[in-house]
Structure 1
């Protein structure tokens, strides 16, 4: 092998990091770029709010359910090979999304996109680990990787609004394909092949996770579907219960996704639940507010994207501040403070109306975005610190899977409440605020004070 890990760490290290971060940024971008384009999709595809929920959650549920499997595949077959496969899935699925003639095809293509994302996220971190052997260099590279992801999330609403308004909603997906192609070429030239290692993949545990997460999310969506479909709702609910039962059986047989030390850790469980609650509240409100801005305040997609920008942009500052505060004060006060601030923002958004000036609307948006991002580093620290050195990566994957599941449930619950409340913002946003406050209470009761 002529190219070695050392060559990637020298003159090509910056290009390698750019390629690795670009793949991760695409995954994060697709969680927010779709939101502002949803109203145009509804018109172009002749679908309802329920159809839009499936468009969003077809992606996020797949990522949540397969993220840990993606990490296992990266370890077994090599991170670069897994990353390249993720780019292929993501790029071709994006083209299929752009060409989708109806909502059913679009949802199916979004599922394939989710498979690609579930391969890209863990393999990108593994590639950074292999490419940067020095701990300080690796820490800086990981920081850049995270900052690029945060920037992508912040740019998503604006980019989605501009593209969907001026080029049509398919453009938000078509733009991914050339980025995937360029990233694949750069990766091939700058990142050497990484070795895999024999590893047993707990298939029963992964199957149980897919069934449970899909069932729970589908139930939440179908509750608000109109016309009501009792039979399909019952099927989804049974699937959710069956998935949980299968997961418990697999865990007892030693084929679950998590080792016993993590499953029995109160700190790990608390951190994962906080991550789920954060994303449930935040992405639920993002779905609801985006539709509200365009359907009731008559914002164009571009204007709606810029209107949501303060909420996303403040996250870059808040995340850095939250990380420093967690190191100084411990994670518990940071989590409680952040979730409380976020809940206040959500309560403020819940009481906005058609005549609320944007200046007043921007304040609760800033509070919501700040609270969400300020909390995240501390919640991540709690979850990963609960694991031993041998299972830290697994704990991180589980935490991100919980967050993705929270995103899917947030959209499902917010969409159903919008339908049931006839597009009123109050029910979904009050629910999101209640979830934030419940998570704050959980953190205060379960986490230890900083010594």
Structure 2
């Protein structure tokens, strides 16, 4: 056996470890949607409580995503990945063991923090494990595909586990996966020896605190407005704190020598446009996943597993479109692909509006396929357009901003569409769903306009559509 063979095996196992972390993070973004009915029956919670179960996770995931990259720079991505995976596992166990809705929400918040530590550090592990550019491109593609697979199978896996083992199993299953992932990382992933002369990124404590306060109060205002009304003291107070915290955050980031969010990047039209597209696309997609999951189980009386399977055609076409996007973007440019994908998604959701009255899944499956293919084209093209809008020294930051904007969009989508549906029962749910579809279509129309006027016509796909950090630490020997 040659000396290169163990090294190759270690690289593959390191990639597997990174993929495991990414998979469980993406799974837990969508898998809980299928559990909403079971959670409601177990805890008797309100719709706002169910929204907090989903958004408590997304909130901390989005809020800490930019800062956790800095932690990897300071303390080694391998170490941060393992700590994040361990925190995720402990929080997952706490979710499964929760006896009250409040305990579940708190555990989901901690789970989101672990997820924020996992994602950027997992990509850094892939980058260091594959120093050759060609091999790294393939590895990153597999890493991204693992996330796409998790997105596609999330509702199905959740449905099967809930039907067979109960809702707690969707959290308990993360624990053995985390143990395997941590062990594989420890044995196979390269460590980092920092150059003592290299600059060390600081942790923007003030910016991070203000970001959490702003996102948290904004989310609370939207969710609580559903039950308390926009004029309630709680909602008004949350909105006021949100405005103050947002202004303070912008001032702090402008004055900071090493901000978590460099504001000057938003002076570039393509950067700003793709950030907004990330918010709008996830607003439409995850908001509707949440509402349709409730609709299938409330209005159409689907079991969790059937509700999960109902999403499979859409999510499967997302994966197919992800694969098709690369060649299309290289030939026609990211701008054209973005406009095409946003248009297809908007048309698919628009055509779903009258079909939900039929009471038949067959009447909406074609629309799901069209919408899914459109969403699948938008996400990789959006990533390429974002990375093309910045210089190589800011690629890591651009990737973090795009991921954070997408998570923020999903958070707002679940909150707003939950507010639109309100306290609808089985008889009135359809009208609420149609309103939510209308909002999703409006968001996608804005994506079309942002693509047309904010993305340069000549933006072409790069050789790899995934980000690679500007600085690669020296692997430990």
Q: Aligned-pair distance for 1:38?
A: 1.0
Closer, same or farther in 2 for the Cα pair 1:298/1:379, shift >3 Å?
same
What is the CA deviation profile of residues 223-267 of structure 1, one whole-angstrom value per residue up to 9, with x for unaligned ones? 212577711111221121122111121122125323354132111
Paired residue for 2:456, among 435, 448, 451? Answer: 448
CA distance, structure 2, for counterparts of residue 76 and residue 385 of structure 1 = 27
- Does the CA-based 8 Å contact 2:14-2:125 persist in structure 1? no
Is the CA contact (8 Å cut-off) linking 1:210 and 1:243 kept in structure 2?
no
Q: Equivalents in 2 of 1:61, 1:429: separation in Å?
A: 23
Contact 2:355–2:364 (CA under 8 A) maintained in structure 1: yes
2:431 maps to 1:428: no
Offset from partner CA, 1:430-449 (integer Å, 9 cap, x none) = 11111111121121122222
Task: State whether structure 2 residue 112 is matched by structure 1 residue 110.
Answer: no
Aligned counterpart in structure 1 of residue 221 of structure 2, from 213, 219, 222: 219
Q: Judge which range, 259-268 or 236-245, deviates more.
A: 259-268
Unaligned runs of 5+ in 2: 460-477
Q: Give TM-score scaled by structure 2 length.
A: 0.90
In the alignment, the residues of structure 2 paired with residue 99 and residue 227 of structure 1 have an alpha-carbon distance, to the nearest angstrom, of 32
Superposed CA deviations along residues 21-48 of structure 1, whole A, max 9, x for unmatched, are 1011110111111111111111111112
Inter-CA distance 248–7: structure 2 relative to 1 (3 Å threshold):
farther
Partner of residue 86, structure 1: 84
**Is the contact between residue 51 and residue 223 of structure 2 (CA under 8 Å) also seen in structure 1?**
yes
Tell me, in whole angstroms, the C-alpha distance in 1 between the residues paired with 2:299 and 2:348: 20
Q: In structure 2, how many angstroms separate the alpha carbons of the residues matched to 1:237 and 1:211?
A: 11
Q: Hey, what's the Cα distance between the residues in 2 that align with 1:340 and 1:303?
A: 29
Pairing 1:41-440 to 2, within 5 Å after superposition: 41-195=39-193, 198-225=200-227, 230-255=232-257, 256-353=259-356, 355-419=358-422, 423=429, 424-440=432-448
- The count of residues paired between Structure 1 and Structure 2 equals 446
* C-alpha deviation, 1:373, in angstroms: 1.1
CA contact (8 A) 1:8 1:191 kept: no
Looking at structure 2, the residues matched to 234 and 441 of structure 1 have their Cα atoms a distance apart, in angstroms, of: 32
Q: CA deviation at 1:212?
A: 1.7
Q: Which moved more, 1:8-17 or 1:122-131?
A: 8-17
Contact 1:9 1:132 in 2 (8 A): no
Structure 1: 5+ residue stretches without partners: 1-5
Question: TM-score w.r.t. structure 1 length?
Answer: 0.95
Asked if structure 2 preserves the Cα contact closer than 8 Å seen for 1:8 and 1:131, the reply is no
After superposition, the C-alpha distances for 1:393-451 in whole angstroms (9 at most, x for unaligned) are 11101100000000100000110000066532111111111111112112112222238
SS at match of 2:135: helix
Rounded to whole Å, the distance in 1 between the matches of 2:239 and 2:86 is 34
* Superposed CA RMSD: 1.7
CA 1:352–1:8 in structure 2 vs 1: closer, same or farther (change >3 Å)? farther
